[in-house]
Structures are given as C-alpha cells and as structure tokens.
C-alpha cells in the first residue's frame, strides 16, 4: 500500500498529502522500515528498557527474538 498514491486513497485521513510531507520531513522517506537489521537499534533499545524496568529476568538479545529464517526471508 502506498499512502502517497492519492488518486484513490487507502485511508480516510484528511490532508493526507500534507501529513505525509510532514512525516517525511521529520522521519525521512522510509519511516516504516522492514527487517531486523534496519530496526536493530530500536529493538535493542526496547529490550534494554524491558530488562531495566524489571519486565524480564535477563537482558534478551535481538537475535534471540527471531528465528534464523526471518533474516533470510526479509533481505532487502
């Protein structure tokens, strides 16, 4: 789904083009990246905070979250 295709909008968001332009200016062109590697920094921070706040007994690594096949199936 391409939100930027406004010929037949996929969402009912008023002023979608303006919101997309604002979002891209703030977050860059790819603001919903796919794949483990492209999200590793965020996942690592989340796991660190999860442990620091006592929600997990030990610090889990990003690589423990996903099966090895995940890395193969989402290569870009």
Neighbours of 73 (CB within 10 A): 8
The answer to whether residues 27 and 45 belong to one domain is no
What's the number of domains the chain is made of? 2
Q: In sequence order, which residues have a C-beta less than 8 Å from that of residue 59 and are 6 or more positions away?
A: 47, 48, 51
pLDDT in tens, 9-54: 677 778 888 988 999 999 999 888 888 888 999 999 999 999 999 9
User: What distances in angstroms separate CA 43 from CA 32, 36, 54, 57, 62, one per listed residue?
Assistant: 14, 8, 17, 17, 6
CA distance 67 to 48: 20
The answer to whether residues 41 and 64 belong to one domain is yes
- The reported pLDDT for the residue numbered 12 is 78
Instruction: Tell me which residue range forms the domain holding 50.
Output: 36-73
The answer to whether residues 69 and 40 belong to one domain is yes
The answer to whether residues 54 and 67 belong to one domain is yes
């Amino acid at each position: 789904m391409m939100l930027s295709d406004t010929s037949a909008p996929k969402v009912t968001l008023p002023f979608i083009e303006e919101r997309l332009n604002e979002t891209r200016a703030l977050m860059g062109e790819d603001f919903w990246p796919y794949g483990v590697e492209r999200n590793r920094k965020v996942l690592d921070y989340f796991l660190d905070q999860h442990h620091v706040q006592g929600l997990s007994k030990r610090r889990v690594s990003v690589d423990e979250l996903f099966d090895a096949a995940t890395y193969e199936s989402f290569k870009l």
